[in-house]
Amino acid sequence: MTGTGGDGMVNGTLHSSSAVIHKPIVRITVLFLGVLAVSCIVLYKSAYHFEFLPGSSSDSDSLSMLDNRTSKGKFDLELEGILKNASTKHKTVILTTLNQAWAEPGSIFDLFLESFQVGDNTQKLVNNLIIISMDQKAHARCLAIHPHCYALRTEGLNFSSEAYFMSEEYLKMMWRRIEFLGTVLEMGYSFVFTDADIVWLRNPFPRFYPKVDFQIACDNYYGNPEDKNNRPNGGFTYVRSNLRTIQFYRFWFQSRETYPGNHDQDVLNMIKNDPFLEKIRLEMRFLDTAYFGGFCERSKDFHEVCTMHANCCYGLGTKVHDLKIVLEDWKNFMSLPLKEKASASPAWRAPQNCRT
């Protein structure tokens, strides 16, 4: 060993007197180094454990500890530029996916964008909205009317037509979406993901739980935001970028192989009680349908509603019909004089076609 050459070692021979004098020192040194090595291992393992704990380190510190799979080199520079341009100062973006069928003029996409214009304090949020195009025609439409568009390239897959619920194309599209959202988290951006068949009627950010990793809307909400019996809907989520959520999205995506033939929402229901989520200390909340409603369970109070989702509804034409009614009802409410609006308690006329 290089550092011990002066302790009685001459040309490879250890003098006996030096051995006698320094033997206890060598033993103490070896013992000290052994203790130091064990301490380092314990500290390393402790650090690895505590990186999962809420508040144990900043998000940027946690992200810097990711393994080599999350190196910046693997990411698309174009996407990184779009995320940067659209994000808030806290590196948060709003994301939605779009294919040709939903992008046609007069279809879902137009209603989605219109809702930001007629919503309460939602107009500025369009600046943070990124449209993820699933095919070339959807991308061309986005580029014509919106500043932040990204074409998601998927080898050998065509997502341009309407993907019928639970069809092979539908499942592939849903899982490609989960994979992509995980990539956004790995790039250090938090996001609100919203399906395009959700109309934004009020700024939702004040209704999100502070410092919670993963928040998700529900088809059915049973009164407790921590109750995992709530029926989540993957069409609307708010996710903070940190090591816990990155690990969770990897686990969620990999679980498609554990539960083949299921879409992302069903798989989430199957894994939401998995011990892995407790192990990584993921903090999850379910959003109240009073604020984040849908056709499964409507938000009844026009004074509280933030979003309305055309869930529990199948078929593009059916969704378009009923979302138009929702926007009509909302615009009628917003046009009321202030005093009349304050005491108004209107009811939604939708769903109509979605119920049949």
Percent of the chain at pLDDT exceeding 90: 67
Q: Would you place residue 175 in the very low, low, confident or very high pLDDT band (cuts 50, 70, 90)?
A: confident
Residue with tokens 């199948």: 314
Residue 138 pLDDT > 50, yes or no? yes
Cα end-to-end distance, the chain, whole Å? 82
161 & 260 share domain? yes
Residue 37 pLDDT > 70, yes or no? no
DSSP calls for 257-289 = HHSTT--HHHHHHHHTT-HHHHHTT--EEE--T
237 & 292 share domain? yes
Domain that holds residue 26: 2-50
Measured distance CA(292)–CA(288) in Å, rounded = 6
Asked whether residue 197 is assigned to any structural domain, the reply reads yes
CA angle 198, 263, 285 (to 5 degrees): 60
133 & 251 share domain? yes
Q: What 3-state DSSP class applies to 37?
A: helix
DSSP calls for 122-181 = -GGGGGGEEEEESSHHHHHHHHHH-S-EEE---TT----S---TTSHHHHHHHHHHHHHH
14 & 99 share domain? no
Q: Would you place residue 168 in the very low, low, confident or very high pLDDT band (cuts 50, 70, 90)?
A: low
- Residues 215, 194: contact at Cβ < 8 Å? no
Asked whether residue 60 is assigned to any structural domain, the reply reads no
Q: With CA atoms as reference, report the closest residue to 66 among 75, 77, 252.
A: 75
Q: With CA atoms as reference, report the closest residue to 209 among 188, 185, 225.
A: 225
Q: Which helix (H) or strand (E) holds 81?
A: helix 77-86
Task: Quick: pLDDT tens for 276-335.
Answer: 999 999 999 999 999 999 999 999 999 999 999 999 999 999 999 999 999 999 999 999
Asked whether residue 17 is assigned to any structural domain, the reply reads yes
- Is pTM beyond 0.95? Reply is no
DSSP assigned state of 304: T
Mean pLDDT along residues 39-49? 38
80 & 191 share domain? yes
Asked whether residue 61 is assigned to any structural domain, the reply reads no
Asked whether residue 40 is assigned to any structural domain, the reply reads yes
Pairing of strands 149-151, 129-133: parallel
176 & 45 share domain? no
CB burial string 103-119: b at 16+ within 10 A, e below: beeebbbbbbbbbbebb
Helix 264-271 vs helix 243-258: crossing angle, to nearest 10? 110
Q: How many domains does the chain have?
A: 2
Distances (CA, A) of 354 to 80, 176, 295, 298: 38, 27, 8, 13
The CATH number that applies at residue 264 is 3.90.550.10
174 & 231 share domain? yes
Q: What 3-state DSSP class applies to 12?
A: coil
40 & 171 share domain? no
